Amino acid sequence: MTRYPRDFRGYGPTPPDAKWPGGARIAVQFVLNYEEGGENNILHGDAASEAFLSEIVGAVPWPGQRHWNMESIYDYGARAGFWRLHRLFTGAGIPVTVYGVASALARAPEQVEAMKAANWEIASHGLKWIDYKDHTAAAESADIAEAIRLHREVVGEAPRGWYTGRSSINTVALASEIGGFDYISDTYDDDLPYWTQIAGRDQLIIPYTLDCNDMRFATPQGFNSGDQFYTYLCDTFDALYAEGAAGNAKMMSVGLHCRLIGRPGRVQALKRFIEYIGRVEGVWTPRRIEIANHWHETHPPKSMFRADLLTREDFVARFGGVYEHSAWVAERAFDLELGPAHNCAAGIHSALSRVFRSASPAERLGVLRAHPDLAGKLAVAKRLTAESTSEQASAGLDALTDAERSRFEELNTAYVTKHGFPFIIAVKDHDKAGILKHFQARLANATASEFDTACKQVERIARLRLEEMI
């Protein structure tokens, strides 16, 4: 594998300011997962009972059997938990996004009616609340298409957002291809929405959360009490709000389940958190679709530099001159495991430097000798590369007095005679006086030490060149 698909870079060290409406410093978005009636159950044609996210510690699937206790726990979410949460959010004037399992929505006409009356967004949570990791792409694709059809039939309109949750490696690509959704949320990899390319199409991703999520009431090392949930939500909010106050506004998702947070011993923690953020200025509490609309309008997709998608010919043509007259460095770098993390100056520099550092001493010496003398005969004859010409000019080496030029020629001759390669320094880091000072000091170094210093300067020159190119 020479092209690595995972993206460890994202927005990098300088994420964009979200620019939330009204200058909000944070967007807090509440998601209510409606899964009751869509979980694994032989009544639904599944092979076994449900075993995920319930009050039953250590639950396992029961093949070929109904699990009465499990069913009644899920039933509680529909019968009591949903309505408790409905009263809480409507009373607070906060609209939520529902991740609605299509088959569960079809079994909940009153709940769907209440969601619509409250102007809640009903996004799709798939056809059934089951695990898709072992499904073929064709089988999962068929379920996505049926989920959209059934959702439209039950809700009255197609979903504009998608979240499978118990997803496969194919889920995001399939949902983008089939649904044409305004956003997909089957990732947990950022605090901001972002655009990605899927089969040539720009797809908005609005990452979800598994940490600010009441599911941790039903997982090992999760929340044991409402106070823990409340504290964790407040700490998350405070950290993100501070970033927003500093000009880097973010998004906070809060994941909820009717059968979990809907219990009276837990809902008070959620109520306190809603009251907590209500006492702070600059908090936006949108539905997920409003975040999507804002991002489409304020941060539309832009063409991205993708070094990892270049052909060998284009890669070498673009980066072959970064190491002076040494295109072989770029040729070998192309064969490394490149990915989205390399689509920046730091990434390409890392790849090129790895090749240079692992090259033989003779090859590295060849790179050093490919560099021109500073203010030497090639410069006078205007035979430097465009990069070297610009770099030497930036330090004023193209406008020397006769005395200065004579001094550089004297130092060049002495340096090459002693070390066997030209004096190399990243001239953009220094002025003319500083260069002369380093030149004179390094002339006295041992050749082995100076070889290492020169190689590091070659890497520094490469980095500065890449920063101008990318």
Mean pLDDT for each consecutive 10-residue tract of the chain (470 residues)?
A: 89 93 97 90 82 74 84 90 97 97 96 98 94 93 96 97 94 91 96 93 96 88 88 97 95 96 95 97 98 97 90 96 95 96 96 97 96 68 66 67 82 93 89 87 93 96 94
Q: What is the predicted pLDDT for the residue at 26?
A: 98
Q: How far is the C-alpha of 217 from the C-alpha of 36, rounded, in Å?
A: 17
Q: What is the predicted pLDDT for the residue at 70?
A: 79
The two beta strands, 194-198 and 183-184, are unpaired
Q: Is 430 a catalytic residue?
A: no
Note whether 184 and 203 are within 8 A (CB). yes
Contacts of 334 (CB under 8 A, 6+ apart): 310, 312, 315, 316
Q: What is the predicted pLDDT for the residue at 381?
A: 47
Residue located via tokens 């944070």: 26
Q: How far is the C-alpha of 261 from the C-alpha of 255, rounded, in Å?
A: 10
DSSP label at residue 338: B
**Number of residues that make up the chain:** 470
Note whether 186 and 31 are within 8 A (CB). no
- List C-alpha distances in Å: 172 to 125, 144, 153, 164: 13, 11, 23, 9
Q: Mind listing the pLDDT tens digit for each residue in 365-399?
A: 999 999 988 766 655 546 567 777 677 776 567 66
Q: How far is the C-alpha of 131 from the C-alpha of 140, rounded, in Å?
A: 10
Q: How far is the C-alpha of 221 from the C-alpha of 211, rounded, in Å?
A: 12
What 3-state DSSP class applies to 42? helix
Q: What is the predicted pLDDT for the residue at 395?
A: 59
Q: What is the predicted pLDDT for the residue at 310?
A: 94
For residue 396, is it left (φ>0), alpha (ψ between -120 and 50) or beta? left
Query: Among residues 31, 178, 56, 41, which one has the least CA distance to residue 104?
Result: 41
Query: Among residues 132, 116, 99, which one has the least CA distance to residue 33?
Result: 99
Task: Exactly one of 371, 419, 430, 438 is catalytic; name it.
Answer: 371
Q: Mind listing the pLDDT tens digit for each residue in 12-50?
A: 898 999 999 999 999 999 999 999 988 878 888 878 877
- Phi and psi dihedrals of 292, rounded to 5? -60, -45
**Residue 323 in tokens:** 């190491």
**Residue 359 in tokens:** 């090259």
Considering only the C-alpha atoms of the chain, give the largest distance between any 2 of them, rounded to a whole number of Å.
96
Note whether 258 and 98 are within 8 A (CB). no
State if pTM tops 0.75: yes
Query: What does R_g of the chain's alpha carbons equal in angstroms?
Result: 30
What 3-state DSSP class applies to 206? coil
For residue 61, is it left (φ>0), alpha (ψ between -120 and 50) or beta? beta
DSSP label at residue 80: I
